[in-house]
Amino acid sequence: MTPLLLQKLFGLSPRETQMANLVGTAALCLSTVAIGAATDQFGIRRVSIPILLLLIAATYGLYFGAEHVPSALLSLYSLGIGAGGVVLTLILMVRAFPPQVRFTGVSFSYNIA
């Protein structure tokens, strides 16, 4: 949705927004693994606050930068490493249920939501 939004709101070219989206997706893939590893090493509480603050700052920076400095779109999109914070939801869901009912608990609560 972001590439289309950037095209419509800020008049950026489809090629430019798709390339930035590709960079952002690569950053998301790498950051998801890194955040998962950091959670194992430091704990979810120590990792979640800085990562989610980074996500907020990167999102604001992306849209602010797209309006004022469109030439920096590629680097601003790569700051989306905070988006790897989505893995925190899955980690919390898995840890919320004991192993005997984990599959049922996660699938039921995820699909109800």
Q: Which domain holds residue 60?
A: 2-112
Q: What CA–CA distance (Å, rounded) separates 29 from 93?
A: 20
Is residue 80's pLDDT more than 80?
Answer: no
Q: Per-residue pLDDT tens for 19-35?
A: 988 988 888 888 899 99
The confidence score (pLDDT) of residue 38 equals: 93
Domain count, the chain: 1
Q: What CA–CA distance (Å, rounded) separates 14 from 3?
A: 7
94 neighbors 107 (Cβ within 8 angstroms): no
Is residue 82's pLDDT more than 80?
Answer: no
Q: What CA–CA distance (Å, rounded) separates 100 from 110?
A: 17
Percent of the chain with pLDDT over 70: 100
Q: How confident is the model at residue 50 (pLDDT cuts 50, 70, 90)?
A: very high
Both tokens assigned to 9: 């709101």
